Amino acid sequence: MASVAAQYGPFATAQITVPPGNGFNGGFIYYPTDTSHTYGAVAIVPGYTALFANEEAWMGPRLASFGFVVIGVETNNRNDYDTARGTQLLAALDYLTNSSAVRDRVDRNRLSVIGHSMGGGGALYAATQRPSLKAAIGLAPFKPSGNLASDNVPTMIIGGINDTTVTPSYLDGLYPTLPASTPGAYIQLANADHLYFTRPNDIELRSQIEWLKIFVDNDTRYTQFLCPSIKDTTGIVRSSVKCSTIPSGGSTPPSSPSVPPSSPPSGPQRILGSQSGRCVDVPNATHDNGTRVQLYDCNGQANQQWTYTSSKQLTVYGNVCLDAAGSGNGSAVQIYSCNGQPNQQWNVNANGTITGVQSGRCLDVWGTGNGQQFQLWDCNGQANQRFGLS
């Protein structure tokens, strides 16, 4: 799982230009270059009189790096109101899934929308028109076409406490019109004016990623960042999250493995990812302490040969250990000179998981491509946490 505090996620990305047509005025697509699986998608539209290229383009590569295909929409008319912008968001998603050059990378059942200002109103309008959307995010949204009474799509609204255009009082009135049964979150950011969202910032992005991961990717590991209350309130003045409507996700690791450790073969072995078919690898065969391990095509070299010892260490090169840099979710897994500490002890379990003796958390990797880095995360039974020594 990627850290929500990071500026960029684990995926390498690329960008292509979209020509005008297909119901909107063209734009840009940002996408992960890893072709091993499909991704959820998000369409983004700018505010009144604005251009995506000038104001929201910063979001494209950053969201894509967290495992989303992103299409940035230029509008047919820069004076379009919310309904027109929402209609163009849906047209862009249709183009993305049916005609675009990256349509084979998109899971058409996991689509979402984001917009700023009048475009934020457009995103909320799109949610009322297409209830199959998985998520909608309005950034200082202005919605002159009406309230949210018919919105059944999980909706996040983010405002700026210093916004004099779409004021906190306006959003204080809009958000409560979301039906009680619809998952919702409302956040007001400190020191944020109306154009705050058009400038690169980590606070806004963090909230977006949490919402998209939960509802577009169905990854409930991210629920803990929002419920029972927002975990990282840096830059947030106030917030309201309808946690009763948000899927729960386990955040407390067991004190010991829930399955018994197995007895892996002795001697050097490769550690093979069940999901990826790739090996746990020390980049560039380095011996440097603190080097984070990665997935890489299996090649039989010494930097992919691990020995599970009687003291529960996983060693490479004979005297270097697999090491957890911390015990919390997202802690880096790296190599370090063996020192006998519990953060270098691992249980290799019969169900395919490898759990840290100190943390009780699982060896975890987000993604399946070469170069994906390892971390600790709460054990959840997913394939990205299962490995075999062979």
Distance CA 54, CA 42 (A): 18
The vertex-266 CA angle with 264 and 271, nearest 5°, equals 55
Q: Residue 236's closest CA among 185, 173, 287?
A: 185
Angle at 23 between CA 110 and CA 82, to 5 degrees: 75
CB 239 within 8 A of CB 188: yes
Instruction: Kindly name the residue from 117, 207, 276, 359 that is annotated as catalytic.
Output: 117
Contact 270, 307 (CB under 8 A): no
Q: Which of 94, 194, 219, 359 is catalytic?
A: 194
The DSSP secondary structure of 234-281, one letter per residue, reads: TTEEEEEE-GGGSPP---S--SS-SS-B--PPSS-B-EEETTT--EEE
First to last CA, the chain: 25
| Beta sheet of 135-139, edge-to-edge order | 13-18, 27-32, 68-73, 39-45, 106-116, 135-139, 155-160, 184-189, 236-241
Structure tokens at 187: 């956040």
Instruction: Note the residue count of the chain.
Output: 390
163 is catalytic: yes
Active site residue 297: no
194 is catalytic: yes
Alpha helices in 111-160 (DSSP H): 118-129
Of residues 94, 163, 219, 323, which has the active-site annotation?
163
Which residues is 106 bridged to in the sheet?
39
Q: How far apart are CA 386 and CA 258, in angstroms?
A: 14
List active site positions. Answer: 117, 163, 194
